[in-house]
Amino acid sequence: MTGSLQPFPLAPLTLVVGGARSGKSRFAERLLSASARPRRYIATAEAWDDEMRARIAEHQRDRGADWTTVEAPLDLPAALASARPDEVVLIDCATLWLTNHLLADNDLQKETEGLVAALAACAAPVVVVSNETGWGIVPENALARRFRDEQGRLNQRLAAEATLVVTVIAGLPLALKGSLSGLP
């Protein structure tokens, strides 16, 4: 952000939801960049194959080098606890975090409650990116249906706690809760 732009004040918790390749991560990164504070990126992805490694590298290139990156595929509460009050934090993304816990056969309700408590206790404003998975067809297998249902529950829980909730469709943000006024 250059020129005479004023910093965009971030809410204590912002949720940015959207479909795959909707522009939600780019929008969330723009929110944090507009805050004019040091930025912490909490990554939940795990690079299990070459395609995922390429996606992660693309995100890192797009972000640039002026972010502090913390890898936290499972332990978001610990990663949030280490955030400083002068920073802003981006979690990208809640969907992969949920997937990691689902595949590890962890107690999703317990993990969600721990995440919500950690978000409330975090010293810095946090923006959480998450996928909206409920607009597609009903999955054909039980694991996929469980994932879709759990993702919907997680998004609802995060939205209930957030001051600002934004959906991004085709790169365009739409405030569902709160306001985007003042965003550069």
Active-site residues, by number, are 59
**Rounded-to-integer distance, Cα 41 and Cα 29, Å:** 9
Distance CA 89, CA 38 (A): 9
